Chain A
Amino acid sequence: MAAPRVTSGLQRVLLMLKNVHFKSGYHIVASRKQYSTVYDPNEKTFEKILIANRGEIACRIIKTCKKMGIKTVAVHSDVDSSAVHVKMADEAVCVGPAPTSKSYLNMDAIMEAIRKTRAEAVHPGYGFLSENKEFAKRLAAEGVTFIGPDTHAIQAMGDKIESKLIAKNAKVNTIPGFDGVVKDTDQAISIAREIGYPVMIKASAGGGGKGMRIAWNDEETREGFRFSSQEAASSFGDDRLLIEKFIDNPRHIEIQVLADKHGNALWLNERECSIQRRNQKVIEEAPSTFLDPNTRKQMGEQAVSLAKAVKYSSAGTVEFLVDSQRNFYFLEMNTRLQVEHPITECITGLDLVQEMIRIAKGYKLHLKQADIPIKGWAIESRVYAEDPYKSFGLPSIGRLSQYIEPLNLTNVRVDSGIKEGSDISIYYDPMISKLVTYGSTRADALQQMVEALDNYVIRGVTHNISLLREILVHPRFVKGDISTKFLPEVYPDGFKGHQLSDNGRRELLATAACLYVALQLRSRRFLGNQRVSTSHKEQNRWELSLNLDKDTHVVTVFSTGSLFTVELDGKRLNVTSEWNLASALLPVTIDGTQRTMQCLSRDASGNVSLQYLGTVFKIQVLNRKAADLNKHMPEKVPEDSGSILRSPMPGSVVAVSVKPGDMVSEGQEICVIEAMKMQNSMTAARTAKVKTVHCKAGDTVAEGDILIELGMD
């Protein structure tokens, strides 16, 4: 009954995408939702909901509330007073200053806001108070509905040991292991056999990889046991060992569940979230390339049985580790709406927020397990304001001077809570948006994601689009050969941006050369009388010299109208474009291949920054004359980076461990900078005496600020 309705809803959305022309901002997203649970306007619901969150998730929730005719209340910190979620909501209440502990985590202030606005229910989003049982209790005490599970489930699933026990009892696969102390080699082998290879032997007191061995057979177990106990004894003075199943090359795959207050529960298929850095997800997709229907069903059923075991209601997520043999093991359950819920919405057609609200209001799920489809494929890229060249992403801040979401493309959903002019500050998560694409096949969804990334204009902050795009086109990712170790395995020396192929280099250089010519031609197109000489014909042949990565390329461009022919490295390329020099996007066709590049900056000195295949390349374009003369120009000596320690990101100084005159050795910690919940240790680049200290604990520093100067030796 419900399934056809869902399908027709999807069709409607797709048709809308084709026909509707939108102008700006979040309105687009609101109108082009890829989640379309049929809404019954006669079903009574809450009058007013307060959203105890900010950013994209607050906006996301407000959209569904609007659809359901529910009034919304936003809470915000003082710096967020003109944020998108505040503008979208019907009412807004300031709950404190910028630090989250004083605003979005400030329960007193939020409770006060609820009372003041008479909100009947609270949606906590994710993070902040979403899994805080205290908050849920306080709401219950005042008769306000918490849109989420009850406190019992939050508590039970919030505790690692307790949740594992409950899972075990609910017949959910947990990581097998021997919880006691292993006596000797023989016992170790028998335990290992029981668990099944491979196993990990680790010190009871261990940590940091010390006293840890992986064994794939009896022989290795014997050796591992001996080594580990020796190492454990010498490192920790405690030779007690534990044995646990070793999850080889694990994937992180999670199951979305939906349960009502009447004992009904559904699993809404899986999300593959293996692409991570520092345990934070970067790219997610649904479904997973790795699961067969049988495994999916088993995982789904176990997830549902866990949900039922804790009398779960609302949307929740059961996370599993899956090994290379498709064995899966329970990791934890998240008792909230997940960041990556949109991809589930895309493939199931359900509006999870709407379902959560219905469930909280006490309604029964109107779907049965058989009604849950997997329609097509959806991918989500988390677009962050961070520098991917620094440990796959260190936060960056700034004002979004230009910001255009790629909503001109079909099958693209952007969940964001910012707009052009917004500030990405040190106080909150640096996520810019969740970019979701979908298609009937994985290949379609991937292709659309690549297009969307190329068409996404983000200026004013450093962003991770280069990393996202490289992952998406990496052969291993395309094949689906991924694990949680994907990033360190593929980029063992860190991410360094797109590596140009010969052909790619030619495309990039040809475009830079043509852009230069287009600018030069335009710079003599005066309107009105400027007494421009008529005796000189418009130049149509340009000899240029391009510098890229310290290599010089000689390029000749012939121009006829908007068509440019480029000669470079003995090859000829035809480049066409509208050459709209004001547009943030630079679509070009090079010998029939369409590329969407972006010109980030250009100056009179011939320097141009082009974003090509996601990565920004700096090129200097000079005419031959200028290039010839440029060789006489003195090399400017760059600052000695070994003597000056600069903050790699904006943040606050937590501790400074040196003072002027101190000797520091190479690699020694000098100070600690905290940014976006992360502490980063800054170390000395060489052994030297500290000359000056420019910061103290508590200071706020900007990216590039000098922290410490070292003297000579």
Chain B
Amino acid sequence: MAALATLRSASSLFGGYRFIYKNLVAAHSHVWDSVRPNLHLQQRWYAVSHLSVQERIDKKREAARLGGGQARIDAQHKRGKLTARERVELLLDPDTFVEYDMFVEHRCSDFGMDAAQNKYPGDSVVTGQGRINGRLVYVFSQDFTVYGGSLSGAHAQKICKIMDQAVLVGAPVIGLNDSGGARIQEGVESLAGYADIFLRNVLVSGVVPQISLIMGPCAGGAVYSPALTDFTFMVKDTSYLFITGPDVVKSVTNEDVTQEELGGAKTHTAVSGVAHRAFENDVEALLNLREFFNFLPLSNKDPAPVMECHDPSDRLVPGLDTVVPFESTKAYDMLDIIHGIVDERDFFEIMPNYAKNIVVGFARMNGRTVGIVGNQPKVASGTAQEYGGIIRHGAKLLFAFAEATVPKITIITRKAYGGAYDVMSSKHLRGDVNYAWPSAEVAVMGAKGAVQIIFRGKENQAEAEAEYVETFANPFPAAVRGFVDDIIQPSSTRMRICRDLEVLVNKRQTNPWKKHANIPL
């Protein structure tokens, strides 16, 4: 039964490739015809042997820089997209890009692919290393102008090469994805190439940061690579991620769906949660990626960056003293608290539109990168939640907090009821410093529910409730047991966190040896 399911899903995967192929051929033959004479002329040199080696090098470099030719570059621009090289240039510091494998060509000989005019120096991906704000990074950028950025064996080999080197020297890998899918003409060679990349994505995971920026189509099996990386960003309106395209969906389930609805940035940032954030266009995406990069350590052996910071670490934030409303049922915005606490109110939010009851992202405190997880108070329990697998998802969060060995600081701003208290980096999960605000309520459940159990059948429920609130809906039960280290004035929160981070900077903690942990998936 299980095997069958696997087979079926695998076949749909290949179906995805086929669809891509069809689309590509249709789209391309058109452009192809119009530009062929021109290309033909330009690429004549392939067969000309009387040129000197230097001349051949120059010509090949020139051809590589032009990718699929001016007409396709224009077409790319017309779609509102930049070329692979323009993207790399914009992403990296000026004049720092060092390109690898400019001379690599595909090795396919079927379907007339070995003809000189069907070969492009560098093939359909640009790879190399460079600097972002002076720090080393490896980059691959798929070139949609060459065979729609389709992945050939050579293409995969180029990507694997830079990934291997990135691990060797300990530097992040950024992938700029813009590819129609597998190189159909190469068949299994192409599939092997994907798998080679997947394997590296997995092995590299946790060694160096991996970031994917989807800047065009990314469909079929190709989607697994970005999904395996640490962060997946998308460009609005011009990027798509899906296993099977709208045509296949239509033929299988008879659903009418557009590419955008099926796998556009909106879908993946708000509905599926596959992508971590989306940006307006290529330029904004790349500029934001530069900013984001500054939060990350270069590798698992490097410290997280500390930036020059102008924001005083002992700054009090008076607004926090009133941010939690007096009425215990009234909502407040956790982002107000985060913006108030972090350096320069600068918070890079991850997945702002997905699971809005939790806020996650990166910021700096006294220049030091911190990850922030905040509850946005409006979680409701119900059947949908249970059917959605809240148990397993909640366990994931608990697992992650418990397993983490980085400095962990927790602030209970208001409600910490039941399992949520335990899960959210409680003292018991090795929280290093745990604070409660005076508005904190730490208890097994809300007063009403608790009273119905403790005082079942008792006449004066309201009085019992008041008693319960008096006893439990405050920070004292946790504080007297040492489960929170202190009850703090909210306005002093930034000052305290900055101070604690300085203390914890040399924290060393290891988990028991294991082959690998088994986070509930």
Residues of chain A whose beta carbon lies under 8 Å from any beta carbon of chain B: 24-25, 78, 81-82, 399-403, 419-422, 522-533, 536, 539, 580-583, 603-606, 622, 625-626, 629-630, 632-634, 636
Q: Are B82 and A629 in contact (CB under 8 A)?
A: yes
Q: Is the CB of A605 within 8 A of B280?
A: yes
> Is there contact, CB below 8 Å, between A582 and B343?
yes
Contact at A527–B287, with CB atoms within 8 Å? no
Can you give 16 contacting A-B residue pairs, CB < 8 Å?
A401-B319, A401-B339, A420-B319, A421-B323, A526-B305, A527-B367, A528-B303, A533-B131, A533-B135, A533-B136, A536-B95, A582-B310, A582-B344, A605-B283, A625-B90, A633-B280
Interface footprint category on B:
35 or more
Contact: B307 with A606, CB < 8 Å? Answer: no
**Contact (Cβ within 8 A) A626 B308:** no
- Give the CA-CA distance A401 to B89 in the complex, in Å: 38
Tell whether B326 is near chain A: CB-to-CB under 8 Å. Answer: yes
State the CA gap A345–B15 with chains docked (Å): 83
Query: CB-CB < 8 A to B187: which residues of A?
Result: none
Contact among B280, B305, B320 with A421 in the assembled complex (CB-CB below 8 Å)? B320
Q: Min CB distance, B492 to chain A, in Å?
A: 14
Residues of B within 8 A of A530 (CB): 134-135, 298, 302-303, 305
Are B86 and A629 touching (Cβ within 8 A)?
yes
- The reply to whether B96 and A400 form a contact with Cβ atoms under 8 Å apart is no
Give 9 closest A-B pairs by Cβ, nearest first.
A421-B319, A634-B80, A582-B311, A604-B291, A532-B134, A582-B310, A524-B133, A525-B308, A420-B319
How far is B286's CA from A626's CA once the two chains are assembled, in angstroms? 10
Q: Which of B81, B94, B136, B298 contacts A625 (CB 8 A)?
A: B94
Chain B residue with the shortest CB-CB distance to A24 = B318
**Min CB gap A249→B, angstroms:** 45
Q: Among A422, A626, A636, point to the contact of B280 (Cβ < 8 A).
A: A636
B291, B292, B336: the one contacting A401 at CB < 8 Å is B336
Q: Is B309 positioned at the interface, with any CB of A under 8 Å from its CB?
A: yes
Say how far A593's CB is from chain B's closest CB, in angstroms.
Answer: 24
**Residues of chain A lying within 8 A (CB to CB) of residue B500:** none
Chain B neighbourhood of A25, CB < 8 A? 318
Give chain A nearest CB distance to B300 CB in angstroms. 14
Other A-B contacts than A527-B308, A632-B282, 16 sampled, CB-CB below 8 A, are A402-B319, A420-B318, A421-B320, A422-B322, A525-B307, A525-B308, A531-B135, A531-B298, A533-B134, A536-B93, A536-B95, A625-B89, A626-B287, A630-B283, A633-B280, A633-B282
- A403 vs B294: C-alpha distance in the bound complex, in angstroms? 29
Which of A583, A625, A633 makes the CB contact (< 8 A) with B281?
A633
Answer whether residue B189 sits at the interface, using C-beta atoms and an 8 A cutoff.
no
A630: nearest chain-B partner, CB-CB = B283
Chain A residues within 8 Å of B81, by CB: 632
Q: Is the CB of B77 within 8 A of A632?
A: yes
Interface string of B331-342 (1 = CB under 8 A from A): 001001001100
Is there an interface contact between A582 and B90, defined as CB atoms closer than 8 Å? Answer: no
A632 to B82, Cβ gap below 8 A? yes
A422: chain B residues at CB < 8 Å are: 322
B283 touches A633 (CB 8 A): yes
Q: How distant is the Cα of A527 from the Cα of B298 in the complex, in angstroms? A: 14
Enumerate B43-65 residues with CB–CB distance to A below 8 Å: none
- Is B395 positioned at the interface, with any CB of A under 8 Å from its CB? no
The reply on B237 being an interface residue by CB < 8 A is yes
Determine whether B105 belongs to the interface, using a CB cutoff of 8 Å to chain A. Answer: no
Contact of B133 among A78, A421, A523 (CB under 8 A): A523
Write out the residue numbers on chain B whose beta carbons fall within 8 Å of the beta carbon of A528: 303, 305-306
Report the bound CA distance from A633 to B94 in whole Å: 21
CB of A563, distance to nearest CB on chain B (Å): 18
Bound form: Cα–Cα A527–B312 in Å: 16
Q: Which residues of A contact B283 (CB under 8 A)?
A: 605, 622, 626, 629-630, 633
Q: Does B290 contact A (CB under 8 A)?
A: yes
B284 within 8 A of partner (CB): yes
Q: Is the CB of A421 within 8 A of B321?
A: yes
| B233-254 interface code vs A (CB 8 A; 1 in, 0 out) | 0000110000000000000000
Q: Does B288 contact A (CB under 8 A)?
A: yes
Nearest CB on A from B504, distance (A): 15
| Separation of A525 and B320 alpha carbons in the complex (Å) | 30
CB distance from A585 to the nearest CB of B (A): 12
State A278–B287 Cα separation when bound (angstroms).
46
Residues of B within 8 A of A531 (CB): 135-136, 298, 302
A604 touching B307 by the CB < 8 A rule?
Answer: no
What residue in chain A is nearest B322 (Cβ atoms)?
Answer: A421
- Residue in chain B with minimal CB distance to A524: B133
Q: Which residues of B contact A633 (CB under 8 A)?
A: 80, 280-283
Cα distance A403–B340 in the bound complex, in angstroms: 12
**Residues of A contacting B311 in the complex (Cβ-Cβ under 8 angstroms):** 582
CB within 8 Å for A536 and B131 given contacts A399-B336, A528-B303 = yes
**Given known A533-B134, A536-B134, contact A526–B306 (CB-CB < 8 A):** yes
A402 to B323 CA separation, bound complex (whole angstroms) = 12
- Interchain nearest-CB distance for B67 vs A (Å): 15
The closest CB in chain B to the CB of A583 belongs to B310
Q: Which residue of A lies closest to B82 (CB)?
A: A629
A620 → B minimal CB distance (Å): 10
B339 to chain A, nearest CB (A): 7
Are A524 and B319 within 8 A (Cβ)? Answer: no
Please name all residues of chain B whose beta carbon is closer than 8 Å to the beta carbon of A603 when the two chains form the complex.
Answer: 288
Let me know if B90 and A532 touch, CB within 8 A.
no
Which residues of chain A come closer than 8 Å to B135, judged between CB atoms?
526, 530-533
Q: Which residues of A contact B280 (CB under 8 A)?
A: 605, 633, 636
B residues in contact with A401, CB < 8 Å: 319, 336, 339-340
Residues on A with beta carbons closer than 8 Å to the beta carbon of B321: 82, 421
Q: Mark B256-274, 1 if CB is under 8 A from A, else 0.
A: 0000000000000000000
Q: Which of A400, A421, A533 has the most C-beta atoms of chain B within 10 angstroms of its own C-beta?
A: A421
Q: Is the CB of A522 within 8 A of B308?
A: yes
* Contact yes or no, A526 B319, CB < 8 A: no
Q: Which residues of A contact B134 (CB under 8 A)?
A: 524, 526, 530, 532-533, 536
Contacts of B131 in A (CB 8 A): 533, 536
Q: Which residue of B lies closest to A634 (CB)?
A: B80
**Complexed CA–CA distance, A420 and B311 (Å):** 17
Closest chain A residue to B298 by CB distance?
A: A531
- Is B90 within 8 A of A626, CB to CB? yes
Contacts of B307 in A (CB 8 A): 522-523, 525-527
**In the assembled complex, which residues on chain A have CB atoms less than 8 Å from the CB atom of B320?**
421
B307 CB to closest chain A CB (Å) equals: 6
Q: State whether A82 and B310 are in contact (beta carbons under 8 Å apart), knowing that A526-B305, A531-B302, A629-B82 are contacts in the complex.
A: no
What B residues does A582 contact at CB under 8 A? 309-312, 343-344
Q: How far is the CA of A82 from the CA of B327 in the complex (A)?
A: 11
Q: Do the beta carbons of B96 and A533 come within 8 Å of each other?
A: yes
B308 touches A604 (CB 8 A): no
Are A605 and B288 within 8 A (Cβ)? yes
- What is the distance, in angstroms, from A14's C-beta to the closest C-beta of chain B? 28
Chain B residues with CB under 8 Å of A400's CB are: 319
Give complex CA distance A401, B310 in Å. 19
- B310→A580 contact, CB < 8 A: yes
Complex alpha-carbon distance, A398 and B4, angstroms: 57
Chain A residue nearest to B136 (CB atoms) is A531
